[in-house]
Structure 1
Amino acid sequence: MVDGESEAADIVEHYELDYDESGRITRGYQQLELVRTREIVGRHLPPGPLQVLDVGGGTGAHARWLAEAGHQVLLVDLVPRHVQAARALAEEGLSVRAELGDARQLDIADESFDAVLLLGPLYHLTDRGDRVRALREAGRVAKPGCLVFAAAISRFASLFDGLARGFLFDPAFRSIVERDLAEGQHRNPDRHPGWFTTAYLHHPDELMSEAAEARLRTVEIVGVEGLCAWLPQLAEQWEDPERREVILESIRAVESEACLRALSPHLLLIARRPG
């Protein structure tokens, strides 16, 4: 197990030096994650304008659309590079503030926000206690009765990704996948490009259990991208507006099916703070 401080340092190093988060879900077919997350969050939010906290919000992909919808957003992220990029949204006239912070210990008053997004931290926290702490913090700063949205990577994501992109034919990647499936603990010791970084991969039932331990009431857990994310022709089909809508409709049709949702790369927990 990686201790909390070195784990946080690994995350910062990954995003500061190895990986550019700014365009990950805003270009081409990779927009699928953004479009679906926006759709799911949007249909659960009450009428605004709202005070929204975006924990682990990266460079502001979700903060942007939330602010454009009229909400006031505070983005908190562990990575200085991300915070700097997110602050540029305010220069565009959007109601977005960005601060450095750790999901496990938010420097925010109790019951401050109408909705809390936790769309990155959980899969970067490999210790269950840390994940529960982050969920509990999200619930603490949410107003009573308000929602927390928490994303996780599916336990089976590396297996399907390896099949889709050919990584699974490499014995080193197969070894990584074996541990992922057995323990949910994903490691990339050689920092191979495309094999992600230190992470935790959730089973849907485990995500619900962690929410309960954090004193949150699960509303639902849905598959974000569904099986479509693994299709080799997705990039081509996504460029056609009519086919794009067919893709989205097919994902919506089975997003809550318990036997299918873990096929999706990402899971989204919608939970409510009691009160």
Structure 2
Amino acid sequence: MTDSLAPEILAYYTRGDEEGRLLRGTNRLELWRTQDVLRRLLAPLAEDAARRGTALRILDVGGGAGIHAQWLAADGHRVELVDPVPLHVEQAGRLAGVTATLGDARALAAADGSADVVLLLGPLYHLPEREDRLRALAEARRVLRPGGLVVAATINRFAGVHDCVRSGSYFTPANQAVTDACVATGALRPGGTANLFTTAYFHLAADVPVEFTEAGLTTTGQYGLEGAVWLLGVEERLDDPEQRALLLDVLRRAESEPSLLGVSGHLLTAGTA
């Protein structure tokens, strides 16, 4: 399925940086908050599955090197990861309790109604064309059992400019031009040798439920992961367990406040078929 992935995206992820990205610096907020939100969303489904004598079957689409698949499997879920990057499949396949295969979010091999949960924690922001994002969401709906859950991650429209201003890279003319174009259209198409990311699409928070609806999904909630905290120089506080717990509690309380959804770097949107 690598022929379906833009060459520059494949090259970016073949560098191997994704495996440890969420274990470093303020990126840890994305990991911890994704765990926090997903564990709460999965809890009632897991209880229902336990009453049936089984575990949740989770399809982790675009799951990368398996950073989320690993803890989901450790929580007792049956996790199947699908990713278009061979290196990611190799890395995830080494994780205990995780099955990893090559695949495309727009054309899943899973059978209709076969998954309790479908996670799209990466595909939507690497599908710049709206038609492709709708295909991925429709595929998630197809393979989802009645009463199941779809959770998709998106990068917020202003995340790039906020991050670049914070780091100082916005004041380099080439980066400024690329970042401003992304704010205007949502499309990130970096060029040259100073690429900050790779080809991507950054959503407005309000646009994600619209895409869910067009794909036949009903949105049940939206959750800003990092709030404004990721921009406030809190990395050292994350190293202190007590201060980290306070920050995570603050973020939890504000996670679905409509006026703050677009401030986060990443947004989770949950829905059902």
Answer whether TM exceeds 0.5 for this pair. yes
Structure 1 pair 53–7 and aligned structure 2 pair: CA distance change class (3 A): closer
SS in 2 for 1:182: helix
1:9 is the counterpart of 2:15: no
Normalising by structure 1, we get a TM-score of 0.92
SS state of the match for residue 97, structure 1?
strand
* Compared CA separation, residues 185 and 236, structure 1 to 2 (3 A): same
User: What are the Cα deviations for residues 53-104 of structure 1, in whole angstroms up to 9, with x where unaligned?
Assistant: 0000011111111110111110000000000000101xxxx32100000101
Q: Which residue of 1 aligns with 2:52?
A: none
In structure 1, give the amino acid aligned to 2:137.
L
Separation in structure 2 between the aligned mates of residue 24 and residue 99 of structure 1, nearest angstrom: 21
Match of 2:206 in 1: 205
Q: 4+ residue runs of structure 1 moved beyond 4 angstroms?
A: 4-7
Contact 1:29 1:239 (8 Å CA) reproduced:
no
Q: CA deviation at 1:28?
A: 4.3
**1:43-62 superposed matches below 5 A:** 43-45=40-42, 46-47=45-46, 48=49, 49-62=55-68
For 1:91-170, list aligned pairs within 5 A: 94-170=96-172
Matched positions, count? 263
Identity of aligned residues (%): 46
What one-letter code is carried by the residue in structure 2 that aligns with 1:65? W
Q: Deviations over 1:177-203 (max 9, x none)?
A: 21111100111111425x111100000
Report whether the alignment pairs 1:218 with 2:219. yes
TM-score, structure 2 as length reference: 0.93
- Report how far residue 7 of structure 1 moved: 4.9
Q: Please give the root-mean-square deviation of Cα atoms over the aligned residues, in Å.
A: 1.5
* C-alpha contact (below 8 Å) 2:175/2:194 kept by paired residues: no
Residue pair 1:26, 1:61 contacting (<8 A) in 2 also: no
Structure 2 equivalent of residue 75 of structure 1: 81
Q: Give the distance between the partners of 1:5 and 1:178, measured in 2 at CA.
A: 30
| d(CA) in 2 for partners of 1:141, 1:100 | 17
Q: Give the match's secondary structure for 1:34.
A: helix
Contact 1:104 1:133 in 2 (8 A): yes
Asked if the contact 1:191/1:197 (under 8 Å) is kept, the reply is no
The answer to whether the 8 Å contact 1:155/1:180 transfers is yes
Gaps of 5+ in 1: none
d(CA) in 1 for partners of 2:24 and 2:146? Answer: 36
